[in-house]
Structure 1
Amino acid sequence: MAGPMDSVGRAAKANMLLIVECGHCYHVGRFRANDVAKVVGWNKPLETIRFRCKRCSRTNTMVKTQFIDQDHPPKGYIWVLQKFKL
Structure 2
Amino acid sequence: MTILIDTLGKAARHNMLVQAHCRKCGRQAKFLATDLVRFYSPGRRIETLPFKCRECDASDCRIVPIEFITDRTRETIVWRPTKVKQPG
TM-score category (smaller protein): 0.7 to 0.9
TM superposition outliers: structure 1 runs of 4+ over 6 Å = none
Contact 2:29 2:78 in 1 (8 A): yes
The structure where helix makes up a greater share of residues is 1
Tell me the equivalent position of 1:9: 9
Number of aligned residue pairs: give it.
Answer: 84
Larger radius of gyration between Structure 1 and Structure 2? 2
Q: Tell me the C-alpha RMSD between the 2 structures.
A: 2.3
In structure 2, what is the Cα distance between the partners aligned to 1:58 and 1:41?
Answer: 24
Contact 2:7 2:42 in 1 (8 A): yes
* Alpha-carbon distance change, 74 to 26 in structure 1, aligned in 2, over 3 angstroms: farther
For structure 1, list consecutive stretches of 5 or more residues without a partner in the other structure.
Answer: none
Tell me the equivalent position of 2:44: 44
Contact 2:47 2:64 in 1 (8 A): no
Q: Report the residue type matching 2:75 in the other structure.
A: K
* Partner SS for 2:34: helix
Q: Report the residue type matching 2:12 in the other structure.
A: A
% identical equivalent positions: 25
For structure 2, list consecutive stretches of 5 or more residues without a partner in the other structure.
Answer: 84-88
* Partner SS for 2:6: coil
In structure 2, what is the Cα distance between the partners aligned to 1:74 and 1:7?
Answer: 28
Residue 2 of structure 1 deviates from its aligned partner by 6.0
TM-score (norm 2): 0.81
TM-score (norm 1): 0.83
